[in-house]
Homo-oligomer: A and B are copies of this chain.
Amino acid sequence: MLKDKKMVESITSMDVDFAKWYTDVVKKAELVDYAPVRGCMILRPYGYAIWENVQKVLDGKFKDTGHENVAMPLLIPESLLKKEADHVEGFAPEVAWVTFGGNEELTERLCVRPTSEVLFCDHYSNIIQSYKDLPKLYNQWCSVIRWEKTTRPFLRTLEFLWQEGHTMHATFEDAEAETLKILDIYASFCEDYLAIPVIKGKKTDKEKFAGAYATYTIESLMHDGKALQCGTSHNFGDGFAKAFDVTYTDKDGKIKHCFQTSWGVTTRLIGAIIMVHGDDNGLVLPPRIAPTQVMVVPVAMHKEGVLEKANELKDRIGKFARVKVDGTDKTPGWKFAEYEMKGVPLRLEIGPKDIEKNQCVLVRRDSREKIFISLDDLETEIPRILDEIHIGLFEKAKKAQLEKTSSAKTLEEFNEKLDKQPGFIRAMWCGDVECENKIKEVASASSRCMPFNDQERISETCACCGKEAKTLVYWGRAY
């Protein structure tokens, strides 16, 4: 019998040191391990299984909206990366360069893709001829590399997994509609599957993607009040299409440039799940994305019929939920702590007395509430409770987000409120990048977005310079 190692090896409290708590959770819940190369991570089975569930749901949504998957190569010739001026300026400083193939020095350096706009543009320029070929709606699931200085698992790593959609359209309006459609898919995915409330909005020019005409974003708030960009969707206009000569012959016989979008979410979403829902006992996984939704733990397992009953329940539950039995010889106490750490939404305990009474105990990970249910009611109660957990997690996160959102009319008020209560600051802005820079300098906060669904005019003047305000902006200290 192993010692109840997990029960003693507790994690740092999140209120004592949030960064340390985070690192403890990702390691002890066995989501990741560090790799031999600085800033890279190994996604362990439990971490990767969460990503697989993210992939499955999003991939289905992309396909339902007419998108097709492709696989582009990993390497980009330097000359290709340089074709669009803003883009190369944004990415060249942070790419990994391949200079040798085997023992041979290459005549042209190749970068490991940091993102694949230029590859898609080059390909699209070869395959698009007519308006009948449009729209082209491609996506790929892959990893990219960005040579970051400081890294943290899931949130910022040299290499990360993501999906990148790249689409071409006949008109600016079509591209804009696609950009916003995807933003909606991202937002509803975060809310309906990850139980993470998000603010949809537009990035300022300073914060938009290198080479984009407009970048839209979904922003969320972590437990520590810091903001996290959860996904972005870019409308490129015809800028890249002009640089890469991506054209089509329109119905009127004229040759026109295509309009382009790109959009992506990354394994960073797993970081968001951890930091929005986690607690001092570890991970708390939203049920719809949890690799295991119900963990069956037999109690007094050596007693006749207990393990058999546990397996029988697993088979029944397996028809409507992702379920496992832990039939190892570890103590129930070790198992309880382990699956709390791993954030399994529901634990099902079954022992000889329960069997006698035709019942079992369900323990919710979110509230730790114990619920006795009749074994006759598994099929109705478990899905109901899993839904209840999802809703509860979302509402708790929404409440926290609202509590951590305040408004400020002046830079002084801005600073004061943000210091007192880290979170979103709603403040008016004149549209000038100098004010953005000043707020960054004074309050260490960046503009997160100009929200779609919250355009109250808090005041008529920019919180920073006092000139006429153009728009409401959500600001925050961000990951």
Contact = CB atoms under 8 A, between A and B. Distances in A.
A384 B35 CA distance: 50
A63 to B, nearest CB: 10
A72 B43 CA distance: 6
Contacts of A253: none
Nearest to A143: B74
A72 B112 contact: no
A67 to B, nearest CB: 9
A33 interface: yes
Interface in A107-163: 109-110, 112, 119, 122-123, 126-127, 132, 138, 142-143, 145, 147, 158-159, 161
Contacts of A126: 33
Given A96-B100, A98-B97, A126-B33, A42 B69 contact: no
A74 B44 CA distance: 15
Contacts of A102: 92-95, 147
A250 interface: no
Given A77-B37, A119-B36, A71 B51 contact: yes
Given A98-B98, A101-B96, A159 B127 contact: no
A435 interface: no
B99 A71 contact: no
A380 interface: no
Contacts of A41: 73
A68 interface: yes
Contacts of A8: none
Given A36-B119, A123-B33, A147-B102, A45 B68 contact: yes
Nearest to A94: B102
B37 A73 contact: yes
Contacts of A36: 73, 76-77, 80, 119, 122
A99 to B, nearest CB: 5
B75 A40 contact: yes
Contact of A112 (B74, B92, B109, B127): B74
B138 A45 contact: yes
Q: How many protomers of this protein does the assembly include? A: 2
A172 interface: no
A62 interface: no
A327 to B, nearest CB: 13
A458 interface: no
A74 B145 contact: yes
Given A96-B98, A98-B98, A102-B93, A35 B72 contact: yes
A70 interface: yes
Contact of A71 (B48, B70, B77): B48
A69 B48 contact: yes
A367 interface: no
A49 interface: yes
A161 B72 CA distance: 11
A416 interface: no
20 contacts: A33-B123, A35-B73, A35-B123, A36-B73, A36-B77, A40-B74, A42-B72, A42-B73, A43-B71, A71-B143, A74-B74, A74-B159, A75-B158, A93-B102, A96-B100, A97-B100, A99-B100, A101-B147, A102-B147, A112-B112
Given A33-B127, A97-B99, 11 more contacts: A35-B123, A36-B73, A36-B77, A43-B70, A43-B71, A45-B69, A48-B69, A48-B71, A74-B159, A97-B98, A98-B112
